[in-house]
Amino acid sequence: MIGLCAPLLMFEDVLDLGFDYLEIKCSEISKIKPKPKPFYYANSFIPADKALFKDEKQYFDSVNYCCDLLSISKSKGIKHITLGSGIARNIPNSATNRTVYERWKRFLKTIDYEAYMTGVFIGLEPLVKKETNFINTFLEAQHWIETLKLKSFGITFDTYHIYHEMNDLDIIKKTGLSLVSHIHMSNNEKCYPKSLNEVPSILIEFIKNNFRDLDISIESVPFLLNDITPKIILDLKYLST
């Protein structure tokens, strides 16, 4: 299925354009009302004001918020949440390595358990360095998931972030394909791609050859409804044929 990352109020407009689903921000999940089609996906798991590596209060607020959100997500039909949240997971200069390791480990294990109990899957998303200084590559995300033996975590494969950081697709193919749980797609400026020609061809081929069974959410930063055209949906059918 092909979806669009967009505000909740655009639900009907997005479906009218031909998309199969809407991927909303987690802050809007509680506003979901019964619809003829489910939402399936959400992103922006941790709010910026609930940073993981600053003071203890913000850390515990973040854990509690995410646990509550997972419970709400279950009741609203959300099956997959992408954990990007670059600001919330950014490591300040004042944080020690020990603090980062212990908090991140506790956070992942707690959220993994809650996700498992609610049936929601989490896609940890590597982000470019200009958005965060923590977990910028696929291998870094893979390390934490495999080291902690997380059951309800995978990796969101975002074409923009994968392309702009040091990611070796051959290594991903050899060791990490099974971890990819969702795909985000945008062009090289992180804007809405009008066609597949705006997405690096090496990533298009990689997705076509390895992830035909995964849903793809199109991203656009900033989101402008007038920029959204349905042509990309027809183009993306190429990936599953």
In tens, the pLDDT along 118-174 reads 999 999 999 999 999 999 999 999 999 999 999 999 999 999 999 999 999 999 999
Q: Is residue 111 over pLDDT 70?
A: yes
Helix axes 97-118, 56-76, angle to 10 degrees: 20
Spatial contact of 116 and 151, defined as CB atoms under 8 Å apart: yes
Please tell me the number of Cα atoms within 13 Å of 74 on its side-chain side: 12
Confidence of residue 239 (pLDDT cuts 50, 70, 90): confident
Confidence of residue 223 (pLDDT cuts 50, 70, 90): confident
pLDDT of residue 241: 63
Q: Per the CATH hierarchy, to which homologous superfamily does domain 2-240 belong? A: Divalent-metal-dependent TIM barrel enzymes (3.20.20.150)
CA distance 128 to 131: 6
pLDDT of residue 181: 98
Give the pair of three-digit tokens for residue 176.
């990490």
The chain-wide mean pLDDT, for the chain, equals 94
Of 39, 28, 10, nearest to 217 (Cα)?
Answer: 39
Of 93, 178, 95, nearest to 138 (Cα)?
Answer: 178
Phi-psi bin for 190: left (phi > 0), alpha (psi -120 to 50), beta? Answer: left
pLDDT of residue 177: 97
Domain ranges of the chain: 2-240
Spatial contact of 17 and 55, defined as CB atoms under 8 Å apart: no
Strand partners, 2: 216
Q: What is the mean pLDDT of the segment spanning 200-221? A: 94
Confidence of residue 34 (pLDDT cuts 50, 70, 90): confident
Spatial contact of 179 and 140, defined as CB atoms under 8 Å apart: no
- Name the one residue in this structure whose structure tokens are 């922006």: 44
Q: Is residue 36 over pLDDT 80?
A: no
Confidence of residue 63 (pLDDT cuts 50, 70, 90): very high
Give the pair of three-digit tokens for residue 159.
């074409």
> Phi and psi dihedrals of 15, rounded to 5?
-65, -35
pLDDT of residue 238: 77
Q: Is residue 28 over pLDDT 60?
A: yes
Q: Is residue 16 over pLDDT 60?
A: yes
Q: Is residue 240 over pLDDT 80?
A: no
pLDDT > 90 in the chain, percent: 88
CA distance 65 to 69: 6
Give the pair of three-digit tokens for residue 123.
């896609």
Tell whether pTM > 0.75: yes
Q: Which residue has the higher pLDDT, 79 or 227?
A: 79
- Name the one residue in this structure whose structure tokens are 């009008």: 194
Confidence of residue 224 (pLDDT cuts 50, 70, 90): confident
Spatial contact of 128 and 136, defined as CB atoms under 8 Å apart: yes
